[in-house]
């Protein structure tokens, strides 16, 4: 698939992985909608890169529809990338006092990290399906999971469950959308150096970098973005979850 001349939506486009993806797609010739809730950053990208910013809560149907419609107005929509974040709860299933992990926090994490992905995927599929096919292909949906889907660490149960759900949706969604020529691929990143960690880059790198077999460092957002571009351009890549982690496997803690 040719990226140039197509439009794209990047949900979570002001975050570390999302912004890198926006920049990569713009450089490849796409007209990009940045869909996020960080207004200042979104408007700054709008001015710098000539993209469109649409305030978008991934869990809100009207918001996501508006982002898709904005992208359709720019050109044939062929690429949807979902790298959004949100609040996430954690803790052991049973705490030190014997209290079970809270249900409300679990539900919130599932809402943002699984239901939100489903919401974006279904609305992106409906929008991309309205684009004219080229050699039988209409476009691609790229979701973001995590290696926590496979090796969730102690205290990560809600997050691991949500990301495991994203992994499990991938093949089914690809099969569901095959009649209309839309591919679905998920990237499962390991530890990437983004602001999501909430600590200085040096601190995070010093902890995680030595745990990665090779290269012995954390991932960089442009490496995620490069994978998105490769997925978009390779029409035979479909229904797959790609670990992007330097061979890291999370230890229990």
Q: Please, what's the largest Cα pairwise distance for the chain?
A: 61
| Mean of pLDDT values over 165-182 | 98
Of the listed ranges 117-131, 168-182, 184-198, 219-233, the least confidently predicted one is 184-198
**Per-residue pLDDT reduced to its tens digit, 126-158:** 999 999 999 999 999 999 999 999 999 999 999
Residue with tokens 């209409």: 138
Q: Which helix (H) or strand (E) holds 8?
A: strand 7-11
Residue 164's nearest CA partner among 145, 146, 186, 149 is 149
What is the distance of C-alpha 191 from the center of its chain?
14
| Mean of pLDDT values over 204-220 | 94
- Tokens representing residue 208 in the block: 């995680």
Predicted pLDDT of residue 149 = 98
Per-residue burial over 14-30, b = 16 or more CB atoms within 10 Å of its CB, e = otherwise: bbbbbbbbbbbbbebeb
Assign 97 a pLDDT band (cuts: 50, 70, 90).
Answer: very high
Q: Which of 159, 197, 207, 236 is catalytic?
A: 159
Residue 53 is among the residues annotated as catalytic for this protein:
no
Q: Determine whether domain 7-244 maps to CATH 2.40.37.10.
A: no
- Cα–Cα dist 211/216, whole Å: 7
- Cα–Cα dist 224/172, whole Å: 23
| Mean of pLDDT values over 70-89 | 96
Helices and strands (DSSP H and E) totals, the chain: 9, 7
Predicted pLDDT of residue 203 = 87
Assign 199 a pLDDT band (cuts: 50, 70, 90).
Answer: low
Predicted pLDDT of residue 196 = 79
Average pLDDT, the chain: 96
- Tokens representing residue 98 in the block: 């014997």
Of the listed ranges 19-28, 75-84, 197-206, the least confidently predicted one is 197-206
Pairing of strands 77-82, 52-55: unpaired
Domain ranges of the chain: 7-244
Predicted pLDDT of residue 198 = 67
| Mean of pLDDT values over 170-191 | 98
| Mean of pLDDT values over 8-22 | 98
Assign 246 a pLDDT band (cuts: 50, 70, 90).
Answer: very high
In this structure, are residues 74 and 53 in contact, taking their beta carbons and an 8 Å threshold?
no
């Amino acid at each position: 698939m040719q990226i140039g001349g197509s439009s794209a939506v990047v949900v979570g486009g002001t975050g570390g992985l999302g912004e890198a993806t926006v920049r990569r797609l713009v450089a490849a010739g796409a007209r990009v909608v940045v869909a996020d809730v960080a207004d200042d950053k979104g408007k700054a990208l709008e001015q710098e890169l000539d993209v469109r910013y649409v305030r978008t809560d991934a869990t809100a149907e009207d918001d996501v529809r508006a982002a898709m419609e904005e992208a359709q107005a720019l050109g044939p929509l062929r690429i949807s990338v979902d790298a959004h974040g949100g609040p996430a709860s954690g803790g052991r299933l049973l705490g030190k006092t014997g209290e079970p992990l809270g249900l409300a926090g679990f539900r919130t994490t599932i809402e943002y990290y699984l239901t939100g992905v489903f919401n974006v995927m279904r609305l992106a599929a409906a929008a991309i399906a309205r684009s004219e096919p080229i050699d039988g292909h209409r476009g691609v949906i790229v979701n973001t999971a995590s290696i926590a889907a496979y090796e969730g660490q102690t205290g990560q149960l809600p997050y691991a469950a949500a990301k495991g759900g994203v992994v499990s949706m991938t093949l089914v969604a690809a099969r569901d959308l095959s009649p209309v020529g839309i591919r679905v691929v998920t990237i499962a990143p390991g530890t990437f150096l983004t602001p999501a960690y909430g600590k200085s880059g040096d601190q995070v790198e010093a902890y995680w970098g030595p745990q990665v077999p090779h290269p012995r460092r954390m991932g960089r957002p442009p490496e995620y973005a490069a994978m998105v571009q490769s997925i978009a351009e390779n029409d035979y890549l479909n229904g797959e979850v790609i670990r992007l982690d330097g061979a890291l496997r999370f230890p229990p803690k």
